[in-house]
C-alpha cells in the first residue's frame, strides 16, 4: 500500500509542477522573460531580497524532481543574476538539491528511483555499481556538463559511496559545469 501511495503522490506532484512550469513558460514568453535579459532580471527582482532564495529553492526542487534540464535552469540563474551571483545561487541550490537527492535515495532506495526515471536509464547506471566503476563515472558526470547528474545523484544514494565522498565530489565538481554554463551565456550575449 505504501508503494502505491508514494507512486500516486509522486505522479500528482510531477503533474502539478509540470503544469505550473508550462503556465510559467507561457507567461514568460508572453511577457518577454525568455527573450530579454532585462525583463527576466526585472521579474526576479520583483521578489526583492527574497528573489535569490526563490531561485535557489527552485533549483533544489528541480534536482529532486528532474522535470526540466538542469542546464536550462542554470542559464536562467546567470541571465537573472549575472555571471557571478548567478553562479553562486546556482551552486548553492544545486549542491543542496543534490545532497537532498542523495539522502532521499538512501532513505527510499530503488523504488523512488524507478518512479522518477526510466528502467533502461536506471539499469545502465546500476551496472556501473556492480563493476565498482561507479565512483569514477559519478565524478566524471558531475565534473562535466551534459551528464544526467540528477540521476547519478540518485544512483549514488543506493551505491556504496560514502556521504563525505559524495559531498566532496559535488562541492568540487559543480563549479566546473556552472562555469561552462556561465561562459556559454557570455558568449551568446556577445553574439547578439
pLDDT at 189: 54
User: In percent, how much of the chain has pLDDT > 70?
Assistant: 79
Which element (helix H / strand E) includes 142?
helix 134-143
Which parts of the chain register pLDDT below 50?
190-192
HSE-up (13 A, CA, CB side) for residue 32: 6
pTM: 0.75
pLDDT at 191: 44
Residues 94-142: tens digit of each pLDDT: 999 999 999 999 988 898 898 888 888 888 888 888 777 888 889 998 9
Identify which of 188, 191, 192 has the alpha carbon closest to the alpha carbon of residue 180: 188
Amino acid at each position: 500500500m505504501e508503494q502505491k501511495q508514494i507512486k500516486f503522490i509522486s505522479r500528482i506532484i510531477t503533474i502539478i509542477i509540470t503544469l505550473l512550469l508550462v503556465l510559467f513558460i507561457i507567461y514568460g514568453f508572453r511577457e518577454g522573460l525568455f527573450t530579454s535579459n532585462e525583463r527576466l532580471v526585472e521579474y526576479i527582482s520583483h521578489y526583492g531580497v527574497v528573489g535569490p532564495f526563490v531561485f535557489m529553492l527552485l533549483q533544489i526542487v528541480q534536482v529532486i524532481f528532474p522535470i526540466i534540464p538542469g542546464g536550462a535552469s542554470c542559464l536562467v540563474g546567470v541571465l537573472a543574476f549575472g555571471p557571478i551571483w548567478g553562479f553562486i545561487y546556482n551552486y548553492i541550490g544545486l549542491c543542496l538539491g543534490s545532497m537532498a537527492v542523495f539522502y532521499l535515495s538512501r532513505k527510499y532506495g530503488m523504488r523512488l528511483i524507478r518512479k522518477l526515471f526510466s528502467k533502461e536509464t536506471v539499469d545502465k547506471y546500476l551496472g556501473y555499481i556492480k563493476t565498482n566503476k561507479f565512483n569514477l563515472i559519478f565524478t566524471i558526470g558531475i565534473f562535466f556538463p551534459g551528464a544526467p547528474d540528477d540521476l547519478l545523484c540518485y544512483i549514488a544514494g543506493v551505491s556504496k559511496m560514502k556521504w563525505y565522498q559524495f559531498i566532496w565530489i559535488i562541492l568540487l565538481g559543480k563549479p566546473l559545469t556552472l562555469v561552462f554554463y556561465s561562459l556559454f551565456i557570455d558568449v551568446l550575449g556577445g553574439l547578439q
